[in-house]
Chain A
Amino acid sequence: EIVMTQSPATLSVSPGERATFSCRASQSVNNYLAWYQQKPGQAPRLLIYGVSTRATGIPARFRGSGSGTDFTLTISSLQSEDFAVYYCQQYNNWPPALTFGGGTTVEIK
């Protein structure tokens, strides 16, 4: 099973600042990497797939990058609605299994 590790667990950022956080896979996932945003009490929302392709309706301030085993999500200028938990997910060896990272919480500094 491919293990996804996210860091940091929590990131404190002021509105308007840039947020950058990481996701590392235990083996190469090629470009089969997605990011999701989840707010309290809500379902996750797809942000990015294929490492860097934004999903429909996702603002350009969200940017994904990386390759192989190391990936990054950058939010260029944090808005109030961006404070949430972010999960990475690989789908390289799927089926049979999708795996998610443990999440990064972006909180207001």
Chain B
Amino acid sequence: EVQLVESGGGLIQPGGSLRLSCAASGFTASSNYMNWVRQAPGKGLEWVSVTFSGDTTHYADSVKGRFTISRDTSKNTLYLQMNSLRVEDTAVYYCARAPLPGILDVWGPGTTVTVSS
């Protein structure tokens, strides 16, 4: 079964750091465009970042310079390192697979990040 499962969310103070993980099963993550998408409470979806073709990465302007996406092919796992966290980063963070550019066909259940003092 193709599946994604996120972990690593929690409550963190502004300015802090957190690393999210997304474990993939049933397919090879490195053969796909792997994305992070977030959703603030009661709001819509916001694309955050993508990695593909080895080390190619892209970020939304709102997180550029603060977040880093990476993956461990041996563990078939995607990561999102989040630094200098802000209150406005509070959201459910989803990882999502795109076998073709931009088409997010498999999503994890999400992990919640709350940035608050």
- The number of chain A residues touching the other chain, given as a range, is 20 to 34
**Which B residues touch A103, using CB under 8 A?**
44-45
In the assembled complex, A18 has its CB within 8 A of some CB on chain B: no
Write the A65-94 contact mask toward B (1 if CB under 8 angstroms, else 0): 000000000000000000000010111001
- Could you say which of A38, A44, A55, A94 contacts B101, with CB atoms under 8 Å apart? A94
**Which A residues touch B37, using CB under 8 A?**
44, 98
Binding site secondary structure of chain B: strand
- Measured CB to CB, the residues of A under 8 A from B are 32, 34, 36, 38, 42-46, 49, 55-56, 87, 89-91, 94-103
The 8 tightest CB contacts between A and B, nearest first, are: A91-B102, A43-B107, A98-B47, A95-B58, A100-B45, A96-B58, A49-B103, A94-B102
30 cross-chain CB contacts under 8 A: A32-B102, A34-B102, A34-B103, A34-B104, A36-B45, A38-B45, A42-B109, A43-B108, A44-B45, A44-B94, A44-B104, A44-B107, A46-B103, A46-B105, A55-B105, A89-B45, A89-B102, A89-B104, A90-B102, A91-B101, A91-B102, A95-B56, A95-B101, A97-B47, A97-B60, A98-B35, A98-B37, A98-B47, A100-B44, A100-B47
